[in-house]
Structure 1
Amino acid sequence: MAKTEICYLLLVLVVVELCSQPAAAGSPVKFLPGFQGPLPFELETGYVGVGDREDVQLFYYFIKSESNPETDPVLLWITGGPGCSALSGLIYEIGPITFEPVEYNGSLPTMILNPYSWTKVASIIFLDLPVGTGFSYARTPAALQSSDLQESDHAYQFLREWFVDHPEFLRNPLYVGGDSYSGMVVPIITQIIAIKNEIEIKQFINLKGYLLGNPSTFEGEKNYEIPFAYGMGLISDELYESLKTNCKGEYLNINPSNTPCLQDVQTFHKLLKGINNPHILEPKCKFFSPRPHLLFGQRRSLDEKFHELNNPQQLPALKCRTDWYVLCYHWADDGQVREALNIRKGTIGKWERCASLQFQKTVMSSIPYHASLSSKGYRSLIYSGDHDKAVTFQSTQAWIKSLNYSIVDDWRPWTVDNQVAGYTRSYSNRMTFATVKGAGHTAPEYKRRECLAMLKRWMSYKPL
């Protein structure tokens, strides 16, 4: 089915030339409420109209590289979800600014600099995608409908128009990146750009590759939660052996008549009830999270849905990680903030970090897109926080191995400041896989220094 999707995508892109849209026009942002003084980096925000009659208005944040923006790579970043705002990736993961990790006191949250921002080595476009995410909006009810393939096509339309307004970046290397559910769409977006370049539609985009963190890739990856839990010492030898024997590796679509397997899986879930999926070492808080994540269109269980993370070591002034997350709601809904960001009045009500969308998940596996991009010679970096149970490093390793490329640099540690930061392996298809030791579902949130070092080395074509 996935190969058919690629063929269909190629046919559509060859036959259908999209209507020309007016150039995007962004506005510089010199000051942000909550941050003292002028911003020490160059920020631009704006909208780009895509789709029929520009009924979809995509909002973006563009931050120039703090090193050498004339030649440094440009990274298009899509936060996961689908429906999680680009502001979340900017603030909590890889952007140059974040919130001071203190409890909300009723005033506007204080913003501080992130010394390990990925903008140290690249210019980044943080895009609210698909429509309905963050500050992106639709002009008509029909335009609110979206899907994996449509979202990916909108991303290409956005890039094409963005480069019309920013021609000085056309020669810079371009990478497409994201984490979590973006693992389904980033390879498709990259494929579209590659095909458009091949058939010479519009301007040539200097595409070099893509990167993904703890990426959702195929439906069966949840089967790897059990071997992950066993390897992490969360279940007993006896239960693991019984699960393997009774379920034969299939822990999701279980035959109702297979009572021993059902009982073992029930025991597994009971044992892991108190474990946080995004980072298994962090305890659960005892209050509800305002915005649960969705994976593969299925709502997480109530236990997972309403509990978030506590991280006293990294956020010592907070009881829970959600106390840090909640600051972005107060900040993004402030009138002065929206004015500073150039948000169009009346387009968005309450801002949501991860919105519920009218979205169809039509692509069940992005593996064929990885295979296609590899055959075209594009580079890729796939990294996994090794304490993430939501998308385990075992499931990511499994689909990478399924590509059947030979190993050119076998499993070894990679280090930062003479300390092991994770393990890595490189393949003949120019794909690099890396674990980030001690990190969770969005690795840069937990290990910022290490992830910046990883990115810098990879973008410089150096071994990790």
Structure 2
Amino acid sequence: MHISLSSMIAYSFCHFLIIIVLLGLAIFIQLGTSRSKVEVLPGFEGPLPFKLETGYVGLGESHNDMQVFYYFIKSENDPEKDPLMLWLSGGPGCSSISGLLFQFGPLAFDTDLEEYDETGSLPNLILRPQSWTKVCSIIFVDLPFGTGFSYAKNLTAQRSDWKLVHHTHQFLRKWLSDHPEFISNEFYMGADSYSGIPGPAIVLEISNGNEIGLQPPINLQGYLLGNPITTRKEKNHKIPFAHGMGLISDELYASLQRNCRGEYVDIDSRNELCSRDINYFEECLSKLNVEHILKPCYKDDLPKAREAQWRRSLIQEPQLVPCKHYEDSLSNQWLNYENVRKSLNIREGTIGKWERCYKTDFENQISNSFEFHVNLSAKGYRSLIFSGDHDALVPFISTQAWIRALNYSIVEDWRPWLQQGQVAGYTRTYSNRMSFATVKGSGHIATQYNPEECFTMFTRWIANVPL
């Protein structure tokens, strides 16, 4: 059969177009969702003894516009049956690597070296024996956009409380679509600090999505929150907490009560006496580590080993200024190594300098999260709210206050809970299936300061047994 030259050219052109379309579709799919197994990491000796996956999930009409980065670690026990949890760090805008490396993931930076190398060398990683992945599969997600390795074309337009709620919900359903083997697993939402504001709203949106038949279904069972900001008026309890801990005098506390009448957040600018007392109060706490009042507050980012060196030194005392965190310098150092990014399969050119917390242009739209707790309690979901009892930033008494305002009857009254025969904190259980627990001697990020106690607390609660 004779084929004309023009027909051959037309056929070749069509064939070329098909190839281009298929290549474009392949790139689109790749950018929409991608995942990779990570078997080794720089700084850790040998292959990882657990299953780590990293990846991106694209959101929005054009998946190229918004890409959510995540770290996923399978349960080291029975991933087919063990619960699945999504963890959202606070900030807003702190990478979930905070939970993975500093709180309850299977890896931690080795900060117990005799001398810590501050020259910029690669930090070492060690195993954390109290990892929650011993009993639970965990997705550590970098949201809101601009956080960690997640990126978007228009960051400012995507950074608000409600955007964070919607994006987390969309991410989870897309992630489960790509991981259908986990659809039947019990699902829990976990968050801490600022994420006490969007966290309960995310849980409620997931629940409402299930009710209207969004796919895939999510086997939602409950949520847990650590030292959560809830009312945005935590300062009203920060002052009585400071008095109870002996941080301010009886006379100043009495004057604050008298002049401010219990309202320390929305202060009338004309109330000069209250403003004077507030300024004095702030001065009293200005050199204190408000996230953990028992811990020192240093000028520089110092790991534990350097803290110990300072303590041993009788020659020079560290200058006390607004506190910095050694985890910032360690994680920034590690995640800005090119080989680390290659191991984590980070897309080249998407993120410049990595920083643990992204702190700009976030819009606060949710005034408080109390009503979300009310709705979730009515739906019967389990919840665990826990607080380090030496946190002056979000004091445990502020958390107790809003829980008490839910007005649910007490099923099991205030009692100590134990870890290895010792009091690890105190707990109370309510009829709405909510448990409140303090972690004795701990601070704002209780999972970081007291990993053993928090591991015991979590493994009991996730197994639905009393603390």
Are 1:361 and 2:364 an aligned pair?
Answer: yes
Q: Secondary structure at the match of 1:76?
A: strand
Gaps of 5+ in 1: 1-19, 290-308
Aligned counterpart in structure 1 of residue 351 of structure 2, from 341, 345, 348: 348
Q: What corresponds to 1:428 in structure 2?
A: 431
Q: CA deviation at 1:52?
A: 3.2
Q: CA deviation at 1:235?
A: 1.1
TM-aligned CA distance change 1:37 to 1:22, over 3 Å: closer
Are 1:58 and 2:68 an aligned pair?
Answer: yes
Corresponding letter in the other structure for 2:283: K
Aligned counterpart in structure 1 of residue 264 of structure 2, from 251, 268, 287: 251
Say whether the 8 Å CA contact 1:23–1:162 is kept in structure 2: no
- Flag the structure with larger Rg: 2
1:310-321 matched pairs, under 5 angstroms: 316=308
Aligned counterpart in structure 2 of residue 118 of structure 1, from 113, 132, 143: 132
Aligned counterpart in structure 2 of residue 84 of structure 1, from 94, 110, 127: 94
Say whether the 8 Å CA contact 2:66–2:151 is kept in structure 1: yes
Q: What corresponds to 2:321 in structure 1?
A: none
Q: Distance in 2 between matches of 1:27 and 1:256?
A: 55
Aligned counterpart in structure 2 of residue 262 of structure 1, from 248, 262, 275: 275
Gaps of 5+ in 2: 1-28, 312-317, 319-323
1:130-279 matched pairs, under 5 angstroms: 130-138=144-152, 140-141=153-154, 144-279=157-292
Q: Which deviations, in whole Å up to 9, do the C-alpha atoms of 1:301-344 show, x marking residues without a partner? A: xxxxxxxx88679x646879734541111110001000000000
Q: Distance in 2 between matches of 1:164 and 1:60?
A: 15
Q: Secondary structure at the match of 2:162?
A: helix
TM-aligned CA distance change 1:96 to 1:163, over 3 Å: same
Q: Distance in 1 between matches of 2:218 and 2:463?
A: 19
Say whether the 8 Å CA contact 1:281–1:387 is kept in structure 2: yes
Q: Distance in 1 between matches of 2:95 and 2:269?
A: 39
Q: Distance in 1 between matches of 2:444 and 2:326?
A: 18
Q: Distance in 2 between matches of 1:456 and 1:393?
A: 22
TM-aligned CA distance change 1:231 to 1:111, over 3 Å: same
Q: Secondary structure at the match of 1:163?
A: helix
Q: What corresponds to 2:403 in structure 1?
A: 400
Say whether the 8 Å CA contact 2:156–2:361 is kept in structure 1: no
Q: Distance in 1 between matches of 2:58 and 2:427?
A: 40
Say whether the 8 Å CA contact 2:146–2:155 is kept in structure 1: no
Deviates more, 1:65-74 or 1:99-108: 99-108
Are 1:93 and 2:93 an aligned pair?
Answer: no
Q: Distance in 1 between matches of 2:150 and 2:462?
A: 29
Q: CA deviation at 1:81?
A: 0.5
Aligned counterpart in structure 2 of residue 336 of structure 1, from 320, 336, 339: 339
Q: Distance in 1 between matches of 2:310 and 2:135?
A: 31
Q: Secondary structure at the match of 1:223?
A: helix
Q: What corresponds to 1:412 in structure 2?
A: 415
Q: Distance in 1 between matches of 2:91 and 2:269?
A: 31
**Residues matched between the structures, number:** 423
Q: Distance in 2 between matches of 1:338 and 1:318?
A: 33
Q: Distance in 2 between matches of 1:391 and 1:51?
A: 34
Q: Distance in 2 between matches of 1:404 and 1:349?
A: 49
RMSD: 2.0
Aligned counterpart in structure 2 of residue 373 of structure 1, from 371, 376, 388: 376
Q: Secondary structure at the match of 1:186?
A: helix
Q: CA deviation at 1:143?
A: 6.8
Q: CA deviation at 1:145?
A: 2.8
Give me the identity figure in percent: 55
Say whether the 8 Å CA contact 2:144–2:158 is kept in structure 1: no
TM-aligned CA distance change 1:418 to 1:109, over 3 Å: same
Q: Distance in 2 between matches of 1:218 and 1:58?
A: 28
Q: Distance in 1 between matches of 2:310 and 2:452?
A: 21
Q: Distance in 2 between matches of 1:401 and 1:185?
A: 21
TM-score by length of 1: 0.88
Q: CA deviation at 1:264?
A: 1.6
Say whether the 8 Å CA contact 2:31–2:56 is kept in structure 1: no
Q: Secondary structure at the match of 1:25?
A: strand
Say whether the 8 Å CA contact 1:132–1:357 is kept in structure 2: no
Say whether the 8 Å CA contact 2:91–2:359 is kept in structure 1: no
Q: CA deviation at 1:201?
A: 1.4
Q: Distance in 2 between matches of 1:143 and 1:241?
A: 44
Q: Distance in 2 between matches of 1:142 and 1:443?
A: 31
Q: CA deviation at 1:105?
A: 4.0
Are 1:437 and 2:420 an aligned pair?
Answer: no
TM-score by length of 2: 0.87
